[in-house]
Structure 1
Amino acid sequence: MGAEVKIWNPTEVAEQARKDYASPILPSHLTIDPSLSLPQMKPLVLNLCKDMFKAWSNLDDSCFDVEKISGGITNLLLKVSVKQDNGVGDIITIRLYGPNTEYIIDRQRELQAIKYVTAAGFGATWLGIFGNGMVQSFINAHTLSPSDLREPKLAAKIAKQLRNFHLVEIPASKEPQLWNDIWKFFEKASVLEFDDSKMKKTYETISFKEIHDEIVELKGLCDKLKSPVIFAHNDLLSGNIMINYEEDKLYFIDYEYASYNFRGYDVGNHFAEYAGFECDYNLYYPNMNEQYHFFRHYLQPDRPDEVSEKDLDTLYAEANAFSLASHVLWALWGLIQAKMSPIDFDYLGYFFLRYNEYKRIKEKNFSLVRSYLSRMQE
């Protein structure tokens, strides 16, 4: 069905991690079906914990408590609390990858980033990998909702944290991955075959020639902005941001799509996520004042009021140009997921929400960027 799919092999990944990081990465071949109910899943989770962590191998099953943290549209998170005879308690997080996600997610790229990103204090510590997921330390924090992103104090914290995230150095290719990823998704999305007659009929209404031409035109415009290349999260939706209010500490989690990329894309993609999965952009895409508030705290967190108008205009043009790329990329992602994912979510409908929004705001955003580029040439 098009491009070749890499097979996820936890042992090979762990061995490569040892070479790259000289770290005791714990591999296991065990797998857990994320579609199971929690009672069905629990014995498998206990076997996994005992297999990966030798200190727990002889503990009675009653020492383990397993609960679901969240079930998104890609992964399932489990919280495992462990009590030992000496009274010591441990808590870990098990992240189960959604079925077939290796078709769209480069797990090698993700794991290459985790060591350095977590060392910089942005998320949970990576503890090990298994047949269809990874184990991390537990973060005692509250996951944000889309409406939280609009709150000015939180927006300022996120902006400052994003600036710090963009300063992380990863020993990987510094080539921005945006257009590579978009074309990869395009190639896979354009050759899908649906068994469901209704989905097939809807899929056949999509013009991939139109999408191809839109990508070419959009890339041409974005290239003119020369947005700085930084290490980007690339998926900074509310569910990937956590905060501990007591410690006043913000975390960015889940680096499945992290790579070197354009600054404007990471910011513009974050703004597009203000609308959540419902995608009501009329109500929930940040206006210019809200964007400028974010930019000030991103560009100069210690002196936000001293940011120049030129720098604000530059980032405004970047973010709104690359937000269009965000719509195209996640629209194509939705098509692939509609075919590959068993999760109960209207991925096909999500394609139309994102792509229709791209078409709705295209001329406005193109005009904004062209006006900016014209002013810069004067």
Structure 2
Amino acid sequence: MEVAEQKACQGYASLNILSSPLTIDPSLPLPHIKNHIVELCKDMFKDWSKLDDSCFLVERISGGITNLLLKVSVKEENCVDVSIAIRLFGLNTDSIIDRQRELQATKYISAAGFGAKWLGVFGNGMVHSFIIANTLTPSDMREPKQAAKIAKQLQRFHQVEIPGSKEPQLWNEIRKFFEQASVLEFDDIKKQKIYETISFAKVHDEIVELKEVTDRLNSPVVYAHNDLLSGNVMINNEQDKVYLIDYEYASYNYRGYDIGNHFAEYAGFDCDYTFYPNRNEQYHFFRHYLKPERPNEVAREDLETLYVEANAYALASHIFWALWALIQAKVSPIDFDYLGYFFLRYKEYKGQKDKYLLLARSYIAGCKINGNIHSDQTHLK
């Protein structure tokens, strides 16, 4: 076991939760993964240690562009079926994700009643209770009824208290990603040539300008999810319950960033930004976020303030995930066009920059926001 994994397991044990030093390669075919998952379950849950392997059913729930999520159904000796969820971290993701920070977050977020119950950890993953709910699609998130539910739950999430520094992490993370992304070398000649077309001096200048403007918005600092894409939202409509899951990127951050990043995810991995929410759709979300119980009582100026914040910080979201994608293009074994994803996100940043920075600067200067400035008819693909 690697040194980093040994330290992680020691940290987990100190929190008195179930732990195992075992690691499982997420790139293996599912039949091979199953054998390792059964071994892990028997090692972690002592009541299952003597069960026959046939008592375990392992199913793939989803596999995004970072992690692999599995459902394990166990038929115990008393014939009662029990299900748990196992998340395998993507290979080489520790260079991008602060696992200790995620550990800290998961402990408190789980205790606050968000997401699944945290059951334990192992060398390269986590074990949770299985949530009976549907994972949303990007189109689901855009439905007004679902958007209102997500807004209400996000407002609750933003009130979670996590011990430690409350410094917003956005620009620290972007700086870290920029440093890693700007010095890559690809073995694939074609990828290297594409990579060399990127002007990192220009990207750096964009980051400096964007930070200077958004800092002046004074967006409130909250405990943010930072990765509220459709795959991280689950809804049980019968119980009217919303789950926000996976806290790999969670940290204290700007309110506007968490909401703007969520809006950017309406486009899905295909980056179809014709689905980016217009002003009326955003206002619907803001009303249920700002006053969940009395959404129709939200003041116009509060809607305008959050509109400025969310759309300015959506620009930062494009920069963040564009740089992230470059690093993933180098280290990830997942079959996904990360280089192409960089250009899609960066193109959208450049296409929306003038519009939303003008809006932000006008707001900062105290100018009245008018329909000509934030008309969604000017939104570019």
Out of 58, 63, 67, the residue aligned to residue 59 of structure 2 is 67
Residue 192 of structure 1 corresponds to which residue in structure 2?
A: 184
Secondary structure, aligned partner of 2:168: coil
Residue 8 of structure 1 corresponds to which residue in structure 2?
A: 4
Distance change (3 Å), C-alpha of 1:247 and 1:137: same
Does residue 250 (structure 1) correspond to residue 242 (structure 2)? The answer is yes
Does residue 322 (structure 1) correspond to residue 313 (structure 2)? The answer is yes
CA distance in 1, matches of 2:368, 2:298: 21
CA distance in 1, matches of 2:60, 2:259: 30
CA distance in 1, matches of 2:256, 2:13: 34
Residue 356 of structure 2 corresponds to which residue in structure 1?
A: 365
- Matched residues, number: 368
Contact 2:9-2:21 at 8 Å conserved across structures: no
Residue 129 of structure 1 corresponds to which residue in structure 2?
A: 121
TM-superposed deviation, 1:362: 0.3
Residue 3 of structure 1 corresponds to which residue in structure 2?
A: none
Out of 330, 342, 352, the residue aligned to residue 333 of structure 2 is 342
Secondary structure, aligned partner of 1:80: strand
Runs of 4+ in structure 1 off by over 6 angstroms are none
Q: Given residue 89 of structure 1, which amino acid in structure 2 is its aligned partner?
A: D
Residue 302 of structure 1 corresponds to which residue in structure 2?
A: 293
Contact 2:88-2:125 at 8 Å conserved across structures: yes
Superimposed CA distance per residue, residues 283-310 of structure 1 (whole angstroms, 9 cap, x where no aligned partner)? 1100000000100000001111111111
CA distance in 2, matches of 1:253, 1:376: 39
TM-score by length of 2: 0.94
User: Unaligned stretches of 5+ in structure 2?
Assistant: 370-381
Does residue 219 (structure 1) correspond to residue 214 (structure 2)? The answer is no
Residue 57 of structure 1 corresponds to which residue in structure 2?
A: 49
Secondary structure, aligned partner of 2:177: helix
CA distance in 2, matches of 1:131, 1:323: 34
Contact 2:8-2:123 at 8 Å conserved across structures: no
Instruction: Give the alignment's Cα RMSD to 1 decimal.
Output: 1.4
Residue 40 of structure 2 corresponds to which residue in structure 1?
A: 48
Contact 1:229-1:260 at 8 Å conserved across structures: yes
Secondary structure, aligned partner of 1:277: coil
User: Unaligned stretches of 5+ in structure 1?
Assistant: 1-5
Residue 181 of structure 1 corresponds to which residue in structure 2?
A: 173
Query: Identity over the aligned pairs, expressed in percent?
Result: 70
CA distance in 2, matches of 1:150, 1:63: 40
Superimposed CA distance per residue, residues 18-49 of structure 1 (whole angstroms, 9 cap, x where no aligned partner)? 54xxx432221211111111111111111111
Residue 169 of structure 1 corresponds to which residue in structure 2?
A: 161
TM-superposed deviation, 1:126: 1.4
Contact 1:8-1:107 at 8 Å conserved across structures: no
